[in-house]
Amino acid sequence: MNTQPNQTVVVLDFGGQYKELIARRVRECGVHSQILSGNTPLETLREIAPIGVILTGGPHSVYDETSPHTVKELFELGIPVLGICYGMQLMAYTLGGVVRSCAVSEFGAIPCRYDDPDCKIFKGLDPNAVTLMSHNDYVDVLPKGFRRVAHTADCPTAAMCDEDRRLYAVQFHPEVERTQQGTQLLRNFLYNVCGAKGDYNINDVIQRQIGLIREQVGTHNVVLGLSGGVDSSVCAAILERAIPNQLTCIFVDHGMMRKNEGDEIERAFAGKSLNFIRVDAKERFLSKLKGVTEPEKKRKIIGEEFVRVFEEESGKFAGSFLAQGTIYPDVVESGLTTGAVIKSHHNVGGLPKDTKFIGLVEPLRYLFKDEVRALGRRLGLDEALVARQPFPGPGLAVRCIGEITVERLDILRDADYIFREELAKADLHYDQFFAVLTDMRTVGVMGDGRTYNYVLALRAVITSDFMTCEYAHIPYSVLDVVSSRIVNEVKGVSRVVYDVTGKPPATIEWE
């Protein structure tokens, strides 16, 4: 059931990789969104009473019996529906149309012609657009009552609609940046078709969550594992605002943070109406990691040890609530909204068994990362915390290829600091950038002597969603300064390289 006081659009997921992006775009347009599984019962939709439904894409063919399907009654609820990619094919197939395999598949940015400027979702748009296509099938025969309203050179039905029943569908992906005017198309659906009021904004979220926290917690204390990342920091800020002097933040310092970062986190929360505890567990973690080189084993060891340390410290606060910085993508990826697990998140799934806590508080559970950052700014958090780049839970352990030692971590910390410092001096801003210490050594010359030290890699990327990325074109003059400083100031590095690989085929992190 929808507990939101705002108008809501439901995004029904049929396996689409962009489901979260669709939901984010809807919220950016001032409308609350909720992601549900494609097989969500109609009764649930009736209870939520959304002003619109969006069907996502997916990797399937609708004429395959094993593919996810829906029922005809979905389109008879009187609720406006927008089908995207597979969602368009599913709409056509369910309502009696014919979907076939393409003679020519379309992948990438494809010129598209919007043939009917009177169609409500195309109002005010340039009829000639470039759209992101990704399909092997297409709608050949339209269902009764529909008309074609867009086409490409190889796809005769790039969009279709039945405006009497408020049913619309596009073969391309309007939610991605590579589709020109895509956000405006979604806005047209929301406002021209669904009658959205635009009543969703972050200020309402803050006041609502403060009220919910106070109602849930009462006079009890709350314990939060604070990493210093965006999510846990914003979670701490809103909890402190809601229940001053009832919050204890436990920062487990595993010794694999960036240079000065532990001290910066401690300073950021000093003087607040909360209890801040910093647990120095550096030696404990390093002893567990001794001799370990395999990336996943590193992650597992660090994750398990973190839980043990936190349990030991938080055990002193039995009878309190446990707070977590869970955000909506964590919930979605863990399969709690769609039933398909992309990757499990340690902070999703409720309280652990045999817990000493009396309940779970998750004020950010239904927010996306960009909303969390906006909320943090409204709460007055330092920009350094709010704009903090994504940082892996295991920290520098997965940016230090091979065995983890104090010496190697210090080399990486110093080099990474120089890289970040020089980019700041040059006023260069990228979505993520960092240094990687490889386990490769190379011959070098310093002074009149031969050296045999580590190769250090630099990585900087540009991305809007972290699902794909392009490498940043850092000016050579800046790379020259960074390289020179690292090899001269950081003992143990004799060569610096720059990673020019996008995602795909590479990942953003090296391990």
| Residues involved in catalysis | 85, 173, 175
DSSP 3-state assignment of 408? helix
Q: Where are the alpha helices (DSSP H) in 32-189?
A: 42-48, 86-94, 182-188
Alpha-carbon dihedral of residues 474, 475, 478, 479, nearest 10 degrees?
A: 60
Q: Report the C-alpha gap between 132 and 480 in whole angstroms.
A: 37
The sign of the dihedral angle between the CA atoms of 90, 91, 92, 96 is positive
The kind and range of the H/E element at 235 are helix 230-242
**Residues making up the chain, counted from first to last:** 511
3-state DSSP assignment of residue 277: strand
Instruction: Compute the distance between CA of residue 423 and CA of residue 474 in angstroms, rounded to an integer.
Output: 9
Task: Identify whether the C-beta of residue 47 lies closer than 8 Å to the C-beta of residue 74.
Answer: no
Closest CA to 274 of 318, 325, 324, 226: 226
Q: Are the beta carbons of 321 and 217 closer than 8 angstroms?
A: yes
Residue 56 CB-density burial (10 A; 0-12 exposed, 13-18 middle, 19+ buried): buried
Beta strands in 73-124 (DSSP E): 81-84, 98-114
37 bridge partner residues: 13
User: CB under 8 Å to 12, separation ≥6 — which residues?
Assistant: 36, 37, 38, 40, 53, 54, 55, 56, 70, 87
Nearest CA-CA partner of 44 in 8, 17, 15, 69: 8
Quickly count: other Cβ atoms within 10 Å of residue 117's Cβ. Answer: 12
Burial status of residue 226 (CB atoms within 10 A of its CB: 0-12, 13-18, 19 or more): buried
Angle, CA of 327, 302 and 402, to the nearest 5°? 120
Q: Are 248 and 221 in contact (CB under 8 A)?
A: yes
